[in-house]
């Protein structure tokens, strides 16, 4: 799999109708998953006051000029949300499916059986918060997340789960056909989608195309027939459809900026280690908060960040409002800013050698750093305390070097 800061594709989207999965709890797990629980290895537990519920929803959504091998009429969303329900083995969502474990095990030199032993605390269709707690959290913006190109949203489960445990609702997008393999339901391979080969190179043209269809996927979710209609039809749901945050890894970060240019109800955004593509390069954010986190190679390989920050600063000065952080995380590579670095730390290598460079920072440290900075940013955006890590270098996080801040 090629490691770079690019990502994938092109399209236009047009909503059709919604398809709902039965929201009744599932009280079983496949035998293969049950058997593996005896030797399970857990991702770091969420740090917030809540447990984490999880569901998936398949939207009927047309993608025009979709070059991927997947269907061009559906979009998968995974929804992470806070719950008071106690995790149970009978309702916990598996992290990996066997096909994905085989594919990604080869790439990272890990045994598929070990990847299948990774567990989550995500609870399938867990009850929503009761009214008292819901009243405390429902004003927080709904966070829209997009993974790196060719990656699955579940590969960021540790971070997304932690945000949900803090009271946020997160809607993560998967474009079927882009990742090598995508289950439309975490418990079965029925209707699963096979996508591009994992070793397929991402050309500049393909990267631009991926940005375009990803952006239109996000536009659909923000439309009247997207997430808001789902919430209206979800009995008892209190999720916020008035204000949003947008963030993502790699091309997902560019997607966040491009969407902010079009939608004023996206009140803040974040780019985790992604170049800017297409119209995101000149996105007008009108002073809304934006956080940019990069690995060190961006200075040598990507000039889009400097131009983006300069334009943001000029616009902020003109309108008298702006907040931007741009910092580098030392000792990490592009793919490390995800759960992948946790896999490599927690699991033994198949032959004792590294096939992909993730940097020298341990996965647990990367995970803590992501939780700290991403959580502090969204917590402040949602009206919480302004934490010190957002203001500059910190003795606690010597890996972080601030390149530029805008404060107006």
Per-residue pLDDT reduced to its tens digit, 371-406 = 999 999 999 999 999 999 999 889 999 999 999 999
CATH fold of 12-407 reads Rossmann fold (3.40.50)
pLDDT of residue 369: 98
Is pLDDT at 19 greater than 60 in this prediction? no
% residues pLDDT > 70 (the chain) = 91
The residues pairing with 60 across neighbouring beta strands, listed in sequence order, are 74
Residue in 177, 150, 175, 149 with CA at minimum distance from that of residue 70: 177
Query: Band of the pLDDT at 11, cuts 50, 70, 90?
Result: very low
Q: Decide: helix, strand or coil at residue 300.
A: helix
pLDDT of residue 202: 87
pLDDT of residue 30: 42
Q: What average pLDDT does this structure show over 152-174?
A: 98
Q: Where are the domains of the chain?
A: 12-407
Residue in 303, 309, 310, 313 with CA at minimum distance from that of residue 326: 309
**Structure-derived torsion over alpha carbons of residues 374, 115, 102, 371, reported in degrees to the nearest 10:** 0
The residues pairing with 407 across neighbouring beta strands, listed in sequence order, are 323
DSSP H helices, 197-339, are 204-222, 227-232, 251-262, 298-301, 304-319
pLDDT of residue 68: 94
Per-residue pLDDT reduced to its tens digit, 176-220 = 999 999 999 999 999 999 999 999 888 989 989 999 999 999 999
pLDDT of residue 89: 81
pLDDT of residue 129: 97
Is residue 130 within 8 A of residue 345, CB to CB? The reply is no
Q: What is the mean pLDDT of the chain?
A: 89
Per-residue pLDDT reduced to its tens digit, 242-273 = 999 999 999 999 999 999 999 999 999 999 99
- Burial class (CB within 10 angstroms; exposed 0-12, middle 13-18, buried 19+) of 404: middle
Find the helix or strand (DSSP H, E) in which 145 lies. Answer: strand 142-146
Per-residue pLDDT reduced to its tens digit, 95-139 = 999 999 999 999 999 999 999 999 999 999 999 999 999 999 999
- The separation between CA 368 and the C-alpha centre of its own chain, rounded to angstroms, equals 16
- Burial class (CB within 10 angstroms; exposed 0-12, middle 13-18, buried 19+) of 383: exposed
Which tokens in the block code for residue 112?
């598929």
This prediction has a pTM of 0.90
Q: What average pLDDT does this structure show over 154-173?
A: 98
Per-residue pLDDT reduced to its tens digit, 53-107 = 999 999 999 988 889 999 999 999 999 999 999 988 888 999 999 999 999 999 9
Q: Decide: helix, strand or coil at residue 385.
A: coil
- Distance of CA 345 to CAs 96, 127, 330, 397, Å? 17, 33, 18, 20
- Distance of CA 258 to CAs 7, 277, 283, Å? 15, 9, 6
Per-residue pLDDT reduced to its tens digit, 305-354 = 999 999 999 999 999 999 999 999 999 999 999 999 999 999 999 998 88
- Burial class (CB within 10 angstroms; exposed 0-12, middle 13-18, buried 19+) of 200: middle
- The separation between CA 92 and the C-alpha centre of its own chain, rounded to angstroms, equals 20
Is pLDDT at 1 greater than 70 in this prediction? no
Q: Quote the CA–CA distance of 71 and 68 in Å, as a whole number.
A: 8
Q: At what angle do helices 251-262 and 204-222 cross, to 10 degrees?
A: 50
Residue in 338, 312, 340 with CA at minimum distance from that of residue 326: 312
The total of other beta-carbon atoms located within 10 Å of residue 377's CB is 24
Is residue 43 within 8 A of residue 54, CB to CB? The reply is no
Q: What average pLDDT does this structure show over 289-307?
A: 90
The residues pairing with 45 across neighbouring beta strands, listed in sequence order, are none
pLDDT of residue 20: 28
């Amino acid at each position: 799999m090629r490691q770079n800061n690019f990502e994938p594709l092109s399209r236009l989207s047009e909503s059709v109708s919604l398809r709902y999965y039965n929201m009744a709890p599932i009280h079983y797990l496949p035998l293969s998953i049950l058997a593996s629980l005896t030797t399970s290895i857990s991702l770091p537990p969420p740090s917030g006051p809540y447990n984490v519920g999880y569901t998936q929803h398949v939207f009927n959504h047309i993608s025009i000029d979709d070059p991927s091998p997947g269907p061009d009429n559906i979009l998968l969303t995974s929804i992470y949300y806070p719950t008071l329900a106690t995790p149970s083995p009978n309702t916990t969502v598996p992290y990996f499916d066997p096909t994905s474990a085989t594919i990604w095990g080869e790439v990272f030199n890990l045994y598929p059986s070990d990847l299948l032993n990774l567990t989550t605390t995500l609870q399938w269709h867990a009850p929503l918060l009761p009214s008292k707690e819901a009243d405390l959290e429902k004003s927080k913006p709904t966070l829209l997340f997009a993974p790196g190109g060719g990656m699955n949203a579940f590969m960021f489960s540790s971070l997304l789960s932690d945000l949900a445990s803090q009271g946020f609702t997160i809607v993560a997008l998967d474009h079927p056909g882009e990742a090598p393999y995508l289950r439309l339901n975490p418990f079965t391979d029925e209707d699963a989608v096979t996508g591009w080969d994992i070793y397929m190179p991402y050309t500049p043209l393909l990267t631009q195309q991926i940005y375009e269809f990803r952006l239109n996927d996000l536009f659909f979710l923000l439309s009247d027939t997207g997430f808001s209609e789902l919430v209206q039809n979800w009995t008892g749901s209190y999720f916020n459809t008035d204000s949003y945050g947008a963030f993502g890894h790699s091309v997902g970060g560019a997607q966040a900026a491009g969407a902010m240019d079009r939608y004023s109800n996206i009140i803040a955004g974040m780019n985790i280690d992604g170049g800017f593509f297409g119209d995101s390069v000149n996105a007008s954010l009108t002073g809304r908060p934006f956080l940019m986190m990069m690995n060190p190679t961006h200075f040598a390989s990507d000039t889009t960040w400097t131009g983006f920050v300069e334009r943001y600063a000029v616009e902020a000065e003109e309108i008298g409002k702006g907040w931007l952080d741009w910092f580098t995380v030392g000792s990490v590579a592009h793919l490390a800013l995800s759960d992948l670095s946790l896999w490599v730390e927690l699991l033994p290598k198949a032959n004792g050698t590294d096939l992909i460079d993730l940097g020298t920072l341990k996965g647990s440290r990367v995970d803590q750093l992501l939780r700290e900075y991403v959580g502090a940013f969204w917590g402040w955006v949602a009206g919480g305390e302004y934490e010190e890590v957002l203001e500059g270098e910190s003795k606690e996080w010597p890996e972080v070097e601030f390149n530029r801040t805008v404060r107006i």
